[in-house]
Homo-oligomer: A and B are copies of this chain.
């Protein structure tokens, strides 16, 4: 199960994606770039009711994780560092919830050796690797861009 952190992250990110898309549309007319029009926490909370303080820690994690940039001071806020299609959901989840794999011993980014588990006899590793791969097949393919697709609209097979 996703943590609240990850859920809140996705909600905030969906706001940023929409803002990003709107800006890029304008930009075709040669106007602005995302870093110049960041979205403040107060804006995001207006759209998705939650604790601003808590959201703040989440957004800081996302910034440290290389997904967001930020601008301080009046008129400041957060913005996407890359095109929405270039950030897979897996990256967000890893930053906030850690491993995607169901066991540490089959994790790609957070591997830990299995204690008390005789690997020569353990039939679980392979099965859980299958589960991990099934997850990643979705989470590495789907991106922030898919977050902005509303329930009614069709979701492409591959955005990239």
Instruction: Return the chain B residue nearest A144 by Cβ.
Output: B123
Contact of A134 among B50, B126, B135, B146 (CB under 8 A): B135
Of the listed stretches A22-30, A60-68, A70-78, A148-156, chain B binds: A148-156
Q: Which residue of B lies closest to A153 (CB)?
A: B123
**Interface membership of A99, Cβ < 8 A:** yes
B150 engages A116 (CB within 8 Å): no
**So how many copies of this chain end up in the complex?**
2
Residue from A1, A10, A126, A135 whose CB has the most chain B CB atoms within 10 Å:
A1
Q: How many residues of A contact B (CB 8 A)?
A: 43
Give which listed residue, B11, B104, B131, contacts A138 with CB less than 8 A: B131
A127 touches B147 (CB 8 A): yes
User: Across the interface, do A147 and B123 meet the contact criterion of CB distance under 8 Å?
Assistant: yes
Task: Kindly provide the distance from the CB of A47 to the nearest chain B CB, expressed in whole angstroms.
Answer: 9
In the assembly, what is the distance between CA of A120 and CA of B117, in Å? 46
Residue A31 at the chain B interface, CB threshold 8 Å: no
**Interface CB pairs A-B, < 8 A, 5:** A1-B98, A1-B102, A2-B102, A123-B147, A123-B150
New A-B contacts (19) at CB < 8 Å, excluding given A89-B127, A123-B150, A127-B142: A1-B99, A1-B101, A1-B103, A2-B102, A2-B103, A11-B124, A14-B123, A48-B116, A120-B150, A122-B151, A123-B149, A123-B151, A126-B149, A126-B151, A131-B135, A131-B139, A134-B135, A134-B137, A134-B138
